[in-house]
Amino acid sequence: MGMAAASSMTIQLLEDAIAALIQRCPDMRTLRQIHAHCLKFPISSSLFAISKVLAFSALSPSGDIAYARRLFSQIPNPNLFCWNTLIRGCSLLPHPSAEPISIYKQMLRAGTPRPNTFTLAFLLKACSLLSAFLEGLQLHCHAFKYGLHASPFVQTALLNLYTKCENIPSARAVFDEIPQRNLFSWSAMIGGYARVGLVNQALQLFREMQEAGVVPDEVTMASVISACAKAGALDLGRWLHVFIDRKGIVLDLELSTALIDMYAKCGEIHKAREVFDGMPVRDTMAWSSMIVGLAIHGHVRDALQLFSAMMDSKVAPNHVTFVGVLSACAHSGLVSDGRRYWSTMRHMGIEPLMEHYGCMVDLLCRAGHVEEAFSFVKDMPIVPNSVIWRTLLAGCKNTRTSDEVVETAAEKLLEMGPLNAENYVLLSNLYATRCEWDKVSQMRRKMKELGAKVVPGCSSTEIDGFVHEFTVADDTHPEIQMIREALRDITERVRRAGHEPSTSSVLHDVVEEEKESALCEHSERLAIAYSLLKTKSPAVIKVVKNLRVCLDCHEVTKIISKVYDREIIVRDRVRFHRFVNGTCSCNDFW
């Protein structure tokens, strides 16, 4: 055997030994020792050995990404494995960043090597974590450029990116191009529809998945159930729960929590509690989902008692938990309790997010402490968003406050959203309650000048497994004539019950009769009218609305529940309203 062959064999044996050692390596301290020994032997320049050290430091749970970066910078000509390792390692960090994309740009500038399917898959995953749609779109172009677009790895990663970025047409285009769709592909597409509330499409795709012989797992079921939660599709949600039991799908933490969320958001809070109570193990999200569910249903004491039970169980609350707790206090005007929970949250080291500040401002404003809420906002360590200023202004409608509060909040709100029609509507209505008619005209004039359009009210109701959607003054539904006849009957019976329309809810320069007509065709009334046509007592009418319920619709729905002897549950943007025999569960405090 020649010297060269013997040397080559020696290096091969050393490389195998190093690889075996790294495979059994328990931590970075041991890895550094192995790396130091490598530098003493002829394999110090071996790219194979260096790549193994790099892989452990970049990808192992006990690795050190900083060490990987330093090591990579010392490699004269990194091969594709090394580039991919560093890209993947940076994409696995707990806090997503654009570093993987920066590394890829360096790789392209280096000229070699060319990316492969793993390169693009790792990068697309990084983009999905950042919701970096434009960068992902560029990578999609690179997939075509390098002939990698048909790779299952790349297609799956693209599908995941587009659904996470809520670009459903692009996601569907990728999905349709996948010849052999695996469970992850189906789950991602179904979950994408669920993200944007396209519940009928999500459920149709779920049926197609079953027809294709693909057996759903816990992840898929959680996605479909989330779609039901967003759309308020209770009947379908119940059917899916039965399907889970019949197919023997494991009710893990994520799936159980999805069921809790679905039942709570579909108005079945007692069923949500049943699922929660049946869980053998509950994590923070399960407790938090149940607390939030109870809060939005107005079961304030139950929500706060559950929080105490969570603390007794030694399960650490998180930001979501305290959003539920603080919103529960806000829904019942429990100011002292809210202040105490705020202190508890800070004491536990949980830094308040914008949602928490919003809950506190809402709590103080609902209780009539608008001036205190204004001081609270001025002292916030983060810049208040438009929701907080809008909450302050809404509080000013019910309480006489200083001009400073109104004008400051109005200025900030219009500065943040000069084209948001909702801001002008709120200010116009507020100025009207203060009899400041010049400012009312000014707000309406600005709306017209800027072309600000009011977001239309949209409500949905589920009938026989299909979700029907209605917008204000909707005339697109195939049975609209029957619905309008039902509305006329409702209007007449409500009027006979003594109701006088509150036309202040309508922001138009029109006569009172036209304002009353506009109120009659608010989206929730169309949904209620359709439900009355299609269902009979004792079936509960359930409606999901994208905006807050207006004062007049709230009063009318109370009367409908009495004169038609029907229980009606309306989920608006903030909470649930359960109307029974002329009363509402919110006690008119919403």
Question: Is residue 540 domain-shared with residue 441, that is, in the same domain?
Answer: no
Q: What is the dihedral of CA 392, 398, 399, 404, to 10 degrees?
A: 40
Is residue 270 included in any domain, yes or no? no
Is residue 479 included in any domain, yes or no? yes
Give the domain-ending residue among 153, 180, 207: 180
Is residue 280 included in any domain, yes or no? no
Residue 577 phi, psi (nearest 5): -125, 120
Closest listed residue to residue 483, CA positions, set 493, 466, 496, 470: 470
Is residue 405 included in any domain, yes or no? yes
- The count of domains in the chain is 4
- Residues 269 and 274: their CA atoms lie apart, in Å, by 9
Averaged pLDDT for residues 158-183: 93
CATH label of the domain that carries residue 424: 1.25.40.10
Which amino acid belongs to residue 209? M
559-589: pLDDT as tens digits: 999 999 999 999 998 889 999 999 998 888 7
Question: Is residue 442 domain-shared with residue 478, that is, in the same domain?
Answer: no
- Residues 205 and 211: their CA atoms lie apart, in Å, by 10
Question: Is residue 477 domain-shared with residue 427, that is, in the same domain?
Answer: no
Question: Is residue 415 domain-shared with residue 493, that is, in the same domain?
Answer: no
Closest listed residue to residue 474, CA positions, set 509, 518, 507: 518
Asked if the bond preceding 113 is cis, omega within 30° of 0, the reply is yes
348-389: pLDDT as tens digits: 999 999 999 999 999 999 888 999 999 999 999 999 999 999
Q: Pull the structure tokens for residue 470.
A: 């209605």
Is residue 154 included in any domain, yes or no? yes
Q: Are strands 466-471 and 541-545 parallel, antiparallel or unpaired?
A: unpaired
Question: Is residue 464 domain-shared with residue 523, that is, in the same domain?
Answer: yes
Question: Is residue 359 domain-shared with residue 407, that is, in the same domain?
Answer: yes
Question: Is residue 485 domain-shared with residue 395, that is, in the same domain?
Answer: no
Q: What is the pLDDT of residue 203?
A: 80
Give the domain-ending residue among 180, 215, 236: 180
Which DSSP state fits 586?
Answer: T
Is residue 132 included in any domain, yes or no? yes
Q: Percentage of the chain with pLDDT > 90? A: 55
Domain hosting 57: range is: 8-70
415-461: pLDDT as tens digits: 988 888 888 888 888 888 888 889 889 998 888 888 888 778 899 99
Question: Is residue 559 domain-shared with residue 580, that is, in the same domain?
Answer: yes
Q: Are 568 and 267 in contact (CB under 8 A)?
A: no
pLDDT band at 42; cut points 50, 70, 90:
low
What are the b/e assignments for 11-27, b being 16+ CB within 10 Å? beebbeebeebbeebee
Question: Is residue 370 domain-shared with residue 430, that is, in the same domain?
Answer: yes
Give the domain-ending residue among 180, 204, 222: 180
Is residue 124 included in any domain, yes or no? yes
Question: Is residue 467 domain-shared with residue 542, that is, in the same domain?
Answer: yes
Is residue 28 included in any domain, yes or no? yes
91 has a pLDDT exceeding 80: yes
Question: Is residue 465 domain-shared with residue 576, that is, in the same domain?
Answer: yes
6 has a pLDDT exceeding 50: no
Question: Is residue 431 domain-shared with residue 479, that is, in the same domain?
Answer: no
503-536: pLDDT as tens digits: 554 444 433 444 455 557 789 999 999 999 999 9
